[in-house]
Structure 1
Amino acid sequence: MITKIANSLKYGKQHGEFGVQILYPGLIKPALPDTGFSTIGRIDHARINPGTLIPMHPHQNDEILTYLRSGSVDHKDSEGNTGKISNNNLMLMNAGANFYHEEQVLEEGGILEALQIFIRPETADLPSGVQFAQLKEPHSVNHWRTIAGKDADVPLQFRSDTWVMDLRLEKGEQIGLPEAPATNCTYLFYLFEGEVNVDGELSLTKGESVLLETGLAEFQATRTSDIVLLITRTTAAHYDRGMYSGNLHL
């Protein structure tokens, strides 16, 4: 089954120089009493002006992947970590019971456009930490690249059965879904930029996505497109009361 998630399902917020569109993927399944979908809590698509400071603030029981396509950020946190995030240096914050961070959007990087992907851990109050991963290239052209997952051999590690892949699909190119990394997997295909047709029937524009409860689908780019693919094992254990990844009553 393939279900389109249109931009109209998102919640928009604007705080000064900070604009974000929030996707709660569980809302596409109203029969399920959960704003998330299995281990996927929510996805924030942010656009932030250079020079903006996002001051120190807390997170609890969230796995937070910061995925930049433009702009650059200086990171600081309560664990003493510092680092620069860019389109080829990604960050995953494994926030346990007590974790704070701040982000400074750098002037020299220009406008920041990024996803913050909130994944649910297996259980609450795990140790906090931060991971950085330097990618060989900013874009993976016409082939799927794993950037985060449960496995030890991927660049960034989640603490639940969740995987994130990305892809730049050039105009006119076509690709299918990658092989599932586990049994009972569901895919969330998020179009960061561009235009894509799904199975020659559905058309997606920037910010839209599809939930795929089957591993069979074909995607063709009608414009060169940047894509993020989330995979969750739907039967996986997960803690659904994280500060941001938790189930909300909207």
Structure 2
Amino acid sequence: MITVRHSQDRGRANFGWLDSKHSFSFGSYYDPEYMGFSALRVINDDIVQAGAGFDTHGHRDMEIISYVLEGTIKHKDSEGNVQTLPAGEFQLMSAGSGIYHSEYNGSNSDTLRFLQIWIQPNELGTKPGYQQKNFGQENGLTPIATPNGRAGTLHIKQDAELHQLILEPNSSLNYQIKPGRKLYIHQVKGELQLGGTQLREGDGASIESLDFVELSNKNQTPTTALIFDLP
């Protein structure tokens, strides 16, 4: 079964310096039908104005992934990490027993756009951690985060995997789904066909009780999506 969450149906919060679209309930946006999917709790599509950002605040027991779409993030946390994340980069912060951090737009002239993703961990009270990497723009599936950090992926504290999908025009592949697993697909750029279902930018699709899903790009421009393989 494939259930689509269209981009225009997402929650919205606009504070002037921040314009955010919420795939799931977050902050003042509450929808009991969209409280997350499996261990996936948050996907926020954030646009931050030049020179603005999130002041120092705390988290605990959450795996927090940031994926920069446009601009640059300036990151600082209580574990001593001071980093810059340019467009195309992934960051995984394991909040564990508790961490404080700030995230700012690294430019005084250009906007920042990034996806903020929260995944609930299967280990609580662990030591906080920080990872960051650019995985490139290869065609096909590229593993980004895995439970064991295999092959240079980010090590996530959950039985979950995150993949980057890039499909060139008029190409397709089949994603095999292991028994008992679920998928969530967030469409980042372009259009993607899931069998007979179409996703456009900002759409999401939850996938349950299927053995595989055919992923196709039938358009004339490349498409990019994130695929969450979940328990």
State the TM bucket, normalised to the shorter chain. 0.7 to 0.9
The 5 A counterparts of 1:206-245 are 206-213=201-208, 214-221=210-217, 222=219, 223-233=221-231
Q: Which residue of 1 aligns with 2:46?
A: 46
Where 2:80 maps in the other structure, the secondary structure is coil
The 5 A counterparts of 1:5-154 are 5-24=5-24, 30=33, 35-107=35-107, 110-135=110-135, 137=136, 139-141=137-139, 143-153=140-150, 154=152
Partners of 1:90 and 1:205 lie apart in 2 by 22
Check whether the contact 2:48–2:113 (CA below 8 A) recurs between aligned residues: yes
Partners of 2:86 and 2:109 lie apart in 1 by 9
Partners of 2:145 and 2:215 lie apart in 1 by 22
- Runs of 4+ in structure 1 over 4 Å off: 27-30
Q: 1:204 to 1:134 in 2, by over 3 A?
A: closer
Which consecutive unaligned segments of at least 5 residues does structure 1 have? 234-250
Q: Which residue of 2 aligns with 1:173?
A: 171
Q: Which residue of 1 aligns with 2:189?
A: 193
Partners of 1:41 and 1:24 lie apart in 2 by 7
Q: TM-score, normalised by structure 1?
A: 0.81
Partners of 2:155 and 2:109 lie apart in 1 by 27
What displacement does 1:110 show?
3.3
What displacement does 1:111 show?
2.6
What displacement does 1:108 show?
7.3
Check whether the contact 1:70–1:109 (CA below 8 A) recurs between aligned residues: no
What displacement does 1:22 show?
0.9
Report how many residues are paired.
Answer: 223
Partners of 1:29 and 1:103 lie apart in 2 by 29
User: 2:202 matched to 1:202?
Assistant: no
What displacement does 1:198 show?
2.1
Query: Which amino acid in the other structure matches residue 174 of structure 1?
Result: S
Provide, for residues 25-73 of structure 1, a one-character-per-residue CA deviation record: whole Å limited to 9, x for no partner. 8x9995xxx7122211111111222322321111121100111122111
Partners of 2:163 and 2:109 lie apart in 1 by 24
Check whether the contact 1:5–1:28 (CA below 8 A) recurs between aligned residues: no
Q: Percent identity?
A: 22
Query: Which amino acid in the other structure matches residue 7 of structure 2?
Result: N
Check whether the contact 2:37–2:206 (CA below 8 A) recurs between aligned residues: no
Partners of 2:141 and 2:97 lie apart in 1 by 33
Partners of 1:146 and 1:46 lie apart in 2 by 23
Q: TM-score, normalised by structure 2?
A: 0.87
Check whether the contact 1:62–1:120 (CA below 8 A) recurs between aligned residues: yes
Query: Which amino acid in the other structure matches residue 216 of structure 1?
Result: F
The 5 A counterparts of 1:157-168 are 157-168=155-166
Provide, for residues 182-211 of structure 1, a one-character-per-residue CA deviation record: whole Å limited to 9, x for no partner. 642111111011122221x22211100211
RMSD (CA atoms): 2.3
What displacement does 1:85 show?
1.0
Partners of 2:20 and 2:31 lie apart in 1 by 19
Query: Which amino acid in the other structure matches residue 150 of structure 1?
Result: P
Moved more, 108-117 or 87-96: 108-117
Q: Structure with the greater relative contact order (CA < 8 A, sep ≥ 6): 1 or 2?
A: 1
Check whether the contact 1:72–1:110 (CA below 8 A) recurs between aligned residues: no
